[in-house]
Structure 1
């Protein structure tokens, strides 16, 4: 597990100037390019400034490159110079920041131009190619590393051990469910040498506490509708705010205002129905999906909400989670993609029997790296 960077030099410096006893915060220092092989996690919710921190590293590197030979020796390992920085994004993240130039390392309030030192990759094999094509680059910023396959963690570790390359990861470690994002995120924590946690203000209108979590919600008819726990893990979209029943919005939220309805239902009802279907008992799952699609008040989900939230604080916002469309499709995606309980043949059959939204399913399954073709009609 990595360490959290903390500095005491600022306290000592202020004491030497005769400042009285007071709360002295950690020094906001320029980035250190001298240590070889660092693997730095920048973690925090959406909007906490992870990519902006990475842009600051880029600007520090530009200043450090103007230094002389003595500094070059301090920041280099053989042909690798850690003052040379390269920025990498995932191919599936192309919908964000479309208003910026192609070579931009962009964040919510601006960008820096990377010139030729930028690439979009699909997976860890793409990272290996970028590393091979840029043998003298010593620092790689990999945005949203949790979007990539687990193998990436070992590619990173080997290059940092063997060549002294430094890697910086502005990434979500927790998903909107407040779980570790995925197995890649878990491995990133395992290999990290440094962890720099960032927070944001809670974006609830009545709160200014620190937010550690990313909250997903839909905006339907002006109502905030929290995403259900079994909402698809990855939904690729832009950063603009959307009034949509299918495209979510994100906000940084504190513990009190991070609403996550449907978790109990997922494990009390939905997953057991998937397990029954995997054993050949498909009718109960079919009946629940039919209710979710056509008459949600007859569903186990609605009954669970009544038991769990009726008459409780924030009842309205929890019940708003039932307003977005395609709840049946989302439940099926969860069982197919994440739980591996529904085989593809059964998925296709259920989609056909229930006349589910194949355009939505195609996009979400592709985003979650489990593409399925619905082009051919399913034969019973």
Structure 2
């Protein structure tokens, strides 16, 4: 971004061109490889260009590497040259951009070939190994850093301070619920030195407002059905549009068109039922889950929707379509087990068996969220 002095310089430059009344906006600067020990968050919704921002850093580095040996003195700290860029992608992200080469830094608009300067890791311990194996790399781009364990924030902070390394984190900070994605995202915010926010156009057909939010929805018989608030937090999958009503789609939405039904229900009804189950009384929760599976129109969720969402308004109609999504009982049970820890593995297995819930769906979502159940 332009500092105040840079903004003043730019204003003077445009005045010299005879444009005294032009409004000066923030410049899109080339990456500065001379500044050590930074931890840069590049945040925005899906589709806002976070990974493309990374590709620009790689292209800028190709230019900077052609500079003189004298210039290199300003980009090297303890043998690590910040013009030497290394890209890290999560092992969980294998399904994305599967049509691209293995060494591709791929984004929606294209890709860059990185050769040996790319690796896939599963956690912060994997990052430490890659850092050790590549001591000459000075700028590290960790794609979707919020998907790693919390330790990643302090591993990168320590390496940044001690060796002058620069870390760039193109990542989601908010999840589809518009909450801080997880504790890793919170710690990355706490330890960042710079933040670059990106936006996208709202992808609602009638809107082009700036979008800050990632929106999750399902397609059921060709209709857009928003994800319920208690939908599983992490669902691993690619970027392709999916017509399977059990698999989510994503786009960016502004505040007005980001539908998130069931949030109040989650805390007014579902979580209290989980608390009651944690005290040993499973029957109320079992009753609601049974209705969600077999007779959703008479469930507490449907009753809440009838009170909250006007069936005549555009937003009311859109929110009500969330009830068309399959496996709602399974989603509620997973939420109470994985995120709230109100029911244990034995209770989950017992309820899933008694209610004939979809075990295959539960297993896939639990695996996505790093949990394994023994049936």
Superposed CA offset, 1:100-139 (max 9, x none): 1111100001000111111110100000011000011001
| Distance in 2 (alpha carbons) for counterparts of 1:219 and 1:316 | 15
Partner of 1:378: none
Partner of 2:283: 283
Q: 1:5 to 1:42 in 2, by over 3 A?
A: farther
Whether the 8 Å contact between 1:97 and 1:238 is mirrored in structure 2 is yes
Q: How many residues were matched structurally?
A: 371
Partner of 1:377: none
| Distance in 2 (alpha carbons) for counterparts of 1:311 and 1:360 | 30
Partner of 1:172: 172
Q: Secondary structure at the match of 2:324?
A: coil
Partner of 2:57: 57
Partner of 2:373: 372
| Distance in 2 (alpha carbons) for counterparts of 1:160 and 1:54 | 18
Shift of 1:275: 0.5
Normalised by the size of structure 2, how large is the TM-score? 0.97
| Distance in 2 (alpha carbons) for counterparts of 1:281 and 1:41 | 45
Shift of 1:166: 0.2
Partner of 2:41: 41
Whether the 8 Å contact between 2:225 and 2:322 is mirrored in structure 1 is yes
Shift of 1:93: 1.0
Q: Secondary structure at the match of 1:169?
A: strand
| Distance in 2 (alpha carbons) for counterparts of 1:12 and 1:196 | 25
Q: 1:276 to 1:312 in 2, by over 3 A?
A: farther
Whether the 8 Å contact between 2:45 and 2:199 is mirrored in structure 1 is yes
Partner of 1:194: 194
Shift of 1:352: 1.0
| Distance in 2 (alpha carbons) for counterparts of 1:220 and 1:319 | 13
| Distance in 2 (alpha carbons) for counterparts of 1:364 and 1:303 | 27
Partner of 2:331: 330
Whether the 8 Å contact between 1:229 and 1:261 is mirrored in structure 2 is yes
Q: CA RMSD in A?
A: 1.2
Whether the 8 Å contact between 2:40 and 2:169 is mirrored in structure 1 is yes
Superposed CA offset, 1:135-161 (max 9, x none): 110011000001000000000000000
Normalised by the size of structure 1, how large is the TM-score? 0.96
Q: Secondary structure at the match of 2:238?
A: coil
Shift of 1:312: 5.4
Shift of 1:331: 0.4
Whether the 8 Å contact between 1:88 and 1:118 is mirrored in structure 2 is yes
| Distance in 2 (alpha carbons) for counterparts of 1:221 and 1:256 | 24
Residue 342 of structure 1 pairs with residue 374 of structure 2: no
Q: Secondary structure at the match of 1:215?
A: strand
Superposed CA offset, 1:233-290 (max 9, x none): 0111111111121111111100000000000000000000000000101110111111
| Distance in 2 (alpha carbons) for counterparts of 1:21 and 1:194 | 31
Whether the 8 Å contact between 2:2 and 2:26 is mirrored in structure 1 is no
Shift of 1:311: 3.9
> Which runs of no fewer than 5 residues in structure 2 stay unpaired?
none
> Which runs of no fewer than 5 residues in structure 1 stay unpaired?
375-380
